[in-house]
Amino acid sequence: MKAHSATKMAACLAVTLLASPLWAGSVTIASPDQAQTSAEGRVTKTKLTWSDKDQALYADITFSNELYETKGDALTEEYFLFKFPGVMADPATKTYYAQDQSGQRVPVATWQNGFFGRHIKMSPGTCVHIRKEHGKVHVVMTATTAAKTALRNQWVEESSGMLLNTIFGR
């Protein structure tokens, strides 16, 4: 299972890093936000959210100890927001984008307004990497305009030590 998950994460990174020739734009955005969670926790919920107040895109990530819950340990869920600086909204196209080094817009997500609010969907070449080392969490978004079809796994979790899981696109 670990090898299978590692292969999926490597494929996601390869699409972003290798599929960015001169004619394609690509961006890597590291969230300045960090979190500390249990080393046993794993990602159970993910979504992108937009803050109209901050004019910022966030990764909304929930960690849970559900795999390690015992009679002595209660179920714990921890919720964190990770900001992606530099992402802007284009209301005319309902697209969130960042600019690459040449100033080209690289779409990272789109949105649809729905009955229960805004639904955000990652663009085909976008991937969010969630790296957890001994409970310390770092989040990085990568995006490229070279990808023509959606990546199967756009949320990728990598944990040192206890887990190595891939979260299927949500």
Residues 61-118 have pLDDT tens digits of 999 987 766 666 778 899 999 999 999 999 999 999 999 999 999 999 999 988 888 8
Per-residue model confidence (pLDDT) at position 7: 52
The beta strand positions in 21-104, using DSSP E, are: 26-30, 35-36, 42-51, 56-64, 77-84, 88-90, 95-99
* pLDDT confidence tier of residue 48, bands split at 50, 70 and 90: very high
**Domain count across the chain:** 1
Tally Cβ neighbours within 10 Å of residue 103.
7
Domain limits for position 14: 2-167
CA of 165: how far to CAs of 14, 34, 61, 79, in Å? 18, 19, 14, 18
